[in-house]
Each structure stands twice: as structure tokens, then as C-alpha cells.
Structure 1
């Protein structure tokens, strides 16, 4: 088990004593070097399990970044737009041209159906091994043996994305992982913001409501933490 960033009881008590607005204000101070609340609260939750579930038939299952399915129920199935799937959707429609990411680092992604199968297998293993050992087992389901990089993931996604393009595409495909922030910002301003301004200007001239700058701004707000999260993911691998 990892050392928790904060005592779980203290965190629970703190969150009960503050309102939502104050909780948002103090969140950056609580996170410290942690990339986001998702990773932070998972570490805290694991500590709760370690302390409180010693006598229960329980284990910790840690999957890597879960993507679409490999085979089941059908190939490529997914029901959300989070993580790499959201990036692929943005790239495939032509909206996303750059990501602040070191393409040479390990892309620790695993198919959703294989994650579920491994989770079921771990539950069976817990039921069997709890008869002979009392420690809480940890299962890390990652793509360590057959690893690919984020550039590899980009190339494979581009191959099939261009071969089977979406009907929702609004611009041709052009995307790259940019390791350096200054280069990434160049792409953002010239290939995200500038085209959006031109399209919105034409939209206003036609008497319609502009919307592309607003959409681009919401995407840029989501992108800055990505590099930190990818670096943290590589470190933990």
C-alpha cells in the first residue's frame, strides 16, 4: 500500500465541515503534488480498506487507463468520452490539433473487457487465497509487458481514424503530441483559437450566434493538467 496523502478520518471530517465553494478553494492546497482528486481520493480510500477491512474477503484492484473493448461485447465498444477516448474523438473530428504530452513515455492503457475479466479473476483468487493468507492482496492490471508509447497510440489511432472517418468531422485530421509547452501553445493559438475566431466572425456576419471560441476555451481549460497527469502515470509505472 502507498502512504496516504492525508489521514482518511481527517479528510472526511474536513469535507463535512465546509461547503462546496470552500472545498473547491482548498482543493489545490490539499492535492499538493497529486495530479487530480481522482488519484488523491483513491489513495485515501485504499488506506481505509487497509485499516478497516482486515477480516473481510477483500482486495485492491488497480487497472491502468481503461479504453474501449478488445472483443466483448463487440470490438471497440465504450460508453464514455473520458481519457484517451475523448482525445481521439476531438482529434477525429478535427477539433483537437495538439496535446501537451511527451509522446515517448509509456501509454499505460488496457481494454475495458480485459479489465473486467481480470477483476472477476481477482475476485475468485481472493475467495480462494483468503483461506490460507490474511494479507489484503493487491492486483495491478497494467500494460507493462507489451508497452506502447503515446506516439504509438497516436499513430495507430490515426491509421484507423483516417480509414474509417467520422461523419461528424468538421476539419481534416492533423494532430501531434507536443512535449514542450511553448510549442503546444503555438498550436493552440494558431490552430485552435484563430480558426475559431474566423468562423465565429463569419457566423456573426450571417446573423447567427457564435459558438466556436467558447467550445475551444472549454477544451483548453481541460488540457493544461494533462501533461502533469501523464508524467505522474509514467512515474507510477
Structure 2
């Protein structure tokens, strides 16, 4: 239990009351978790004053165009239907970039944030495992430093939620809700990244990371220490989500907008292009539905924001993860996928459902050669003969690279402690429980992943329900 839950909360306003009239500043609002956070705040805390999103120009799109693109997402279907006009009237963009000094803010926009903001959610980050150290450090370390520099000037700041990851300390087991010693000095790391050329830094990176697996984990761990230096100075909470996956309830069951995590595995297996996985069948991966994580973010900002900051205050840490509440092994996930694909097959599958688990690295590479690469070459030759663009070798290359990046995580087992995460939900007031209470233990795994596959089929692959009978007939032919 953290010091925030130890106080008497009887006379504290509930979550909706707390957010009434508040201004929220969000980084990472265009991402998967960011969209769900925006939707949930607008849907369940509609009386908030406004939300500012830090957005940069990207791929030729200006911030205002990106804001419209965000709202066009299916994530906001419920909001458009039940709360029409709320997004347009309460969500505004602030032009800037987390990777730039001063966040790339104009003087006018910085003044606006400093004078208006009450709550900050810092969720922007580089989440690629294979980013060069310089790129990851610029986004995850320096970006966090710039957010903290801005936050210390915000006049009415009540809570700042820093989104980290449960895997920030993968060299430890169990992983508890505490601040572990840093693996390096974050200031020196930024200095090294700025002074060394790209080639030299690439050569030195493995030695610099030490026992940590990649630049993502390394820089996220150091970012926590950037935040921790403001202990007692700013009202901060650190939340560490585990592997964030499709939604359980909000905004609707199964929502997802990327192929990361188990949905990507299920889709690749369902298409017949993923035939083998290098892992152990008994490995338990810690998955957290995105809406469960977002509810914990909002609850944490409420419980921190309703307590006046004192110099002796520590920074509470919550492992937003399943832990012992509910878990699933790699083997269970693959078997569920096999059951689901018979009732909900994907269009134009190239082979029957794949996904055998291989514990031998030698056998895995042999299977990749015979079941991934050679069939891909054969099909691409057929496509080329028919005058179509070859594509499968390219896809298999991406799958293999993804498998290499995930190998560290699907061949090892960690124990995540989430006592604080559980205690936080127990302090949510009765009136708030329908909208903000989160639980994992009563989620039916089969039903949940069936919803994940159905939503992935619809929103990621853009497949239509009317095509299911045709897909079933195609699947039966391949099965025979």
C-alpha cells in the first residue's frame, strides 16, 4: 500500500467530481493507449474542461490534420454515437515534439499549458526494441526530462502520470513496485548520445546496455530516474503497464489498432504464415487489456490529485499488470487460436492454422527454413509469373525480425508483483466502480481472445462479416 491509499478518502471527491472543470495535457495521445485514454476521459468524465494533445507534423500531416485523423479512429465510435460533439469541443492540439528541446513548444503554447493544466499524462515514448540508442534516448530520456521541466512551471499541477513499463527491470525477478537502482547515469547517457557519431555509438551500445536486452528497456529504466529526481517536488505517479493488448470492455470489447502482442501472433497463425514459435509452452506472458490499464491511470491521477503535495511525499509506483490475477501460457494462447480459427477463419489464408511451439533453437531455424522461407519463395514465384507483386518473402522477413526482438520475452519467465495496483482499485468509491473499477481475475480467456480475433479481423485486416462463409469454405478446402 502507498501513502496515497493510507489516508481517509471519505470526504475526497469521486473521480467524476475530481475531473470536473479540469484541464488535461497528454503526450502520446495518437498512440494505442493514448486514444483509449482520451476516449475514456471524454466518455466517463465529460465535465472536464478540455484536453490538450501534444502533436507533431508526421508523414506530411500537420497537427490539425492528425487530430482529425485521431478522431476518425473506430476507437471513438461509441463517443460519436453517445456523446456527439464532445471531442470537437474539448480536445485541442498543441504543436510540439517530445524529442525536441523544450518539446518544440512556442512561447504562447508553453504559457497556455503552464497556466491552464491540472493533470499531465506522459505516455509518449519510443516503443521499438531495435531503435538506435540515440533515437531511444532522445525520446524516452530527454523527452521525459523536458516534460518534467515543463511540469515544474505548471502553476496548478495536481498530478503527473508517467507511463513506464513493467519490463523496465528485466534483470530482476520478482519485479516489485519499487524504484530500483539505475543501470547508468541518465545525464551521461544523453551526453554520450549527443557527442558520439552513429557508428561508434552502435558499436558501443551492447556494452553500454549491459544485462538489459535492448534500448527500449534501457532508456525506459533511466527515464524513471529522471522522474524520481522530482520526488517531493511534483505530484508524480509512475505506472508500469505490462504487455498492453486488446480492450476488455471500453470503448468496446476487442478494440485494437496494431499487430503487437498476441493478436499479431494469432493473425499470423490464422493466415497460415506463422508456423513455428521459439518459446516454451509453459511460459506465462503478462498481458493487460488496454482499458484495464487506462482505468488504473485515471484512478492513480485521482488519488494523487486529491492529496496536497508535501516535501516528504514519495513517488508511488504501480505495476499495472495481471500478476497472479489471471494469466495464460504460450501453449494456451496457441490452442485458443486453433479453436477460434475454425469458427472465425481469416480471408485468403495461405495454409491451415500454424503456430507450433519449438523449444530447440536449431529445430526452430530448420522449421523457419522449410515452413516459412521456402513456401514464401514458391508463392512469390507464382505471384511473379501471374504478373502480381511478390510479397510473402518480405512478410516472412518481418516476422523473423519480430521473432528475434521478442525472443528475450517469450523464452523467460518473470514474476510481477502488483499489490499497489490491487490496493488502488479497492479505494475506488462505490459510485465510480461501474466506470473505473478494473479487474482481471474474472475475465474468461477464451471469450476474451475470441473477441480479440473478431475485432482484429474487422479493424486490422478490414475483413467483413459477409465474407465469413466464404472464408470457412476456403478453410475447409485447405484443411482437407
TM beyond 0.5: yes
Measured in 2, the distance between the counterparts of 1:185 and 1:172 equals 20
Asked if 1:191 corresponds to 2:371, the answer is yes
The partner residue of 2:393 within 197, 205, 213 is 213
- In structure 1, how many angstroms separate the alpha carbons of the residues matched to 2:238 and 2:182? 15
Contact 1:90 1:96 in 2 (8 A): yes
Counterpart of 1:157 (choices 337, 356, 359) is 337
Maintained 8 Å contact 2:234/2:309:
no
Q: Kindly indicate whether residue 310 of structure 2 is the aligned counterpart of residue 140 of structure 1.
A: no
- Kept in 1, the 8 Å contact 2:281–2:330? The answer is yes
Alignment match, 1:55: 233
Query: Aligned-residue CA RMSD in angstroms?
Result: 2.2
TM-score of the superposition, structure 2-length normalised?
Answer: 0.46
CA contact (8 A) 1:35 1:229 kept: no
Q: Deviations over 1:75-118 (max 9, x none)?
A: 11011122222222211211111111112011200111111011
Residue deviations 1:183-223 (CA, integer Å, cap 9, x gap): 21122111101111222333344455543223322321221
Structure 2 Cα separation of the partners of residues 74 and 27 of structure 1: 42
1:101–1:226 CA contact under 8 A, matched in 2:
no
Cα shift readout 1:158-203 (whole Å, capped 9, x = no counterpart)? 3223321222533221212222212211221111011112223333
Distance 1:104 1:79 in 2: 28
Report the CA distance between 1:130 and its aligned residue: 5.5
Using the alignment, how far apart are the partners of 1:149 and 1:170 within structure 2?
26
1:29 is displaced (CA, Å) by: 2.5
In structure 2, the residue matched to 1:30 is 208
- State the structure with bigger RCO (CA 8 A, min sep 6), 1 or 2: 1
Query: Matches of 2:373 and 2:212 in 1, distance apart?
Result: 30
1:230 maps to what in 2?
410
Which of 117, 130, 153 is residue 295 of structure 2 equivalent to? 117
Aligned counterpart, 2:347: 167
TM-score, length-scaled by structure 1 = 0.89
Q: Partners in 2 of 1:168 and 1:77 — Cα distance? A: 23
* Residues matched between the structures, number: 236
- Aligned match of 1:126: 304
CA contact (8 A) 1:62 1:141 kept: yes
1:12 and 1:54, CA in 2 relative to 1: closer, same or farther beyond 3 A?
Answer: farther
Structure 1 runs not aligned, ≥5 long = none
Structure 2 CA distance for partners of 1:55 and 1:155, relative to 1, 3 Å: same
